């Protein structure tokens, strides 16, 4: 599948940023960048045209078409010169699903938050009107506005693994994906225990192969097994999008609470600014202080505590 359209100037930078991690080191002639993200190859050309190729080209394209609509009020019809697609609507528009997603695994400071959410078919319209979508398309301000309302509408459960608990768990487990699997399973279990939901699928935003996911849960007694694992599930299922928004909201809240306690603004991510702030905290409070607010297994710890 190939989808091409011209992208507005104010979206280009967002697009480059979004696919940064998946960018290829080489690019075809006249291209600004080319990225290979899961099942899709994305090429942005100097002319402003962007091309999505591959099995999930429509899913990737949809992110940006939606952003053109939201930011520029631009409706782009990509079906003009193409044969009709039988299944062009993302399934989550219509289905009742349960989804889970985690936040904070790429951030040195702050907890890991995993949420599971139930979105019934009847609630989908309400959520779309509220602005629920792939949380990567939302600013922190938008998240703070949408999440509290969302949490009133849908059933959900969240687990916040604070830094001391994370660091203790990591010492035993030494595997981030195992920690994620345990938390996803917990969140799904406790949501399923809340009520007898009617749903088509339970979807986990895939971070590891299914076999590996269940291997990580080998020591766990109660396991949710009827799971569909999908990459980019946030843009395919409203329940995963909702879980992601709630997780992000709780993460931001926790990070600002920690910032207030330690009287330092703790930045997101794991880059050089994070190193700077971490160094200050290490000098003042030592490793013990760092262990209360940071994920010690990250490389940042070695960089910061080096003599
Ligand atoms: Mn995810």
| Phi-psi region at 286: left, alpha or beta (left = phi > 0; alpha = psi -120 to 50) | left
Query: From the CA of 103, how far away is ligand 1's center (Å)?
Result: 7
| Phi-psi region at 250: left, alpha or beta (left = phi > 0; alpha = psi -120 to 50) | alpha
Query: From the CA of 207, how far away is ligand 1's center (Å)?
Result: 7
In sequence order, the 6+-apart residues with CB closer than 8 A to the CB of 124 are 92, 93, 94, 238
In sequence order, the 6+-apart residues with CB closer than 8 A to the CB of 58 are 1, 3, 52, 85, 88
Indicate if the pLDDT at residue 90 is higher than 60: no
Query: From the CA of 80, how far away is ligand 1's center (Å)?
Result: 33
Written as one string, the DSSP assignment of 104-173 is: -TT-SBS-EEEEEEEE-GGGHHHHHHHT-S-GGGS-HHHHHHHHHHHHHHS-EEEEEE-HHHHHHHHHHH
Query: From the CA of 53, how far away is ligand 1's center (Å)?
Result: 22
Q: Report whether 145 contacts 134 (CB < 8 A).
A: no
Query: From the CA of 204, how far away is ligand 1's center (Å)?
Result: 8
The angle subtended at Cα 227 by Cα 67 and Cα 181, nearest 5°, is: 85
pLDDT tens, position by position, 201-216: 999 999 999 999 999 9
DSSP-derived secondary structure letter, 234: G
How many percent of the chain have pLDDT more than 90? 75
pLDDT tens, position by position, 212-258: 999 999 999 999 999 999 988 988 899 999 999 999 999 999 999 99
Strand pairing of 227-230 and 31-37? unpaired
| Phi-psi region at 182: left, alpha or beta (left = phi > 0; alpha = psi -120 to 50) | alpha
pTM here is 0.72
Kindly list the protein residues that place their beta carbon closer than 5 angstroms to ligand 1, a single-atom ion.
Answer: 101, 205
Query: From the CA of 164, how far away is ligand 1's center (Å)?
Result: 23
Q: Report whether 33 contacts 78 (CB < 8 A).
A: no
Q: What is the pLDDT averaged over residues 2-13?
A: 91
Query: From the CA of 190, how far away is ligand 1's center (Å)?
Result: 19
The torsion angles phi and psi of 74, rounded to 5 degrees, stand at -105, 120
């Amino acid at each position: 599948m190939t989808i091409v359209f011209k992208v507005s100037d104010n979206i280009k930078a967002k697009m480059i940023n979004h696919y940064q991690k998946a960018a290829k080191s080489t690019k075809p002639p006249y291209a600004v960048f080319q990225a290979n993200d899961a099942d899709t190859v994305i090429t942005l050309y100097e002319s402003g045209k962007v091309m999505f190729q591959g099995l999930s080209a429509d899913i990737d394209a949809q992110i940006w078409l939606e952003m053109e609509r939201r930011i520029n009020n631009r409706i782009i019809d990509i079906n003009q010169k193409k044969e009709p697609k039988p299944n062009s609507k993302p399934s989550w528009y219509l289905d009742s699903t349960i989804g889970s997603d985690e936040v904070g695994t790429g951030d040195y400071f702050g907890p890991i938050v995993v949420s599971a959410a139930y979105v019934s078919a009847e609630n989908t319209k309400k959520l779309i009107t509220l602005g629920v979508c792939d949380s990567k398309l939302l600013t922190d301000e938008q998240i703070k506005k949408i999440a509290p309302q969302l949490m009133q509408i849908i059933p959900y459960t969240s687990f916040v693994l604070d830094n001391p608990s994370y660091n203790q768990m990591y010492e035993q487990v030494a595997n981030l994906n195992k920690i994620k699997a345990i938390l996803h399973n917990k969140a799904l279990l406790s949501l399923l225990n809340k009520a007898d939901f009617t749903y088509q699928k339970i979807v986990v935003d895939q971070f590891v192969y299914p076999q590996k996911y269940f291997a990580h849960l080998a020591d766990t007694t109660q396991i949710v097994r009827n799971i569909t694992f999908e990459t980019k599930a946030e843009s395919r299922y409203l329940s995963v999008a909702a879980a992601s928004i709630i997780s992000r909201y709780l993460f931001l809240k926790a990070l600002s609470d920690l910032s207030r306690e330690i009287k330092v603004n703790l930045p997101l991510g794991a880059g050089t600014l994070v190193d700077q702030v971490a160094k200050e905290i290490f000098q003042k409070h030592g490793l013990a202080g760092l262990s209360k607010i940071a994920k010690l297994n990250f490389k940042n710890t070695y960089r910061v505590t080096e003599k």
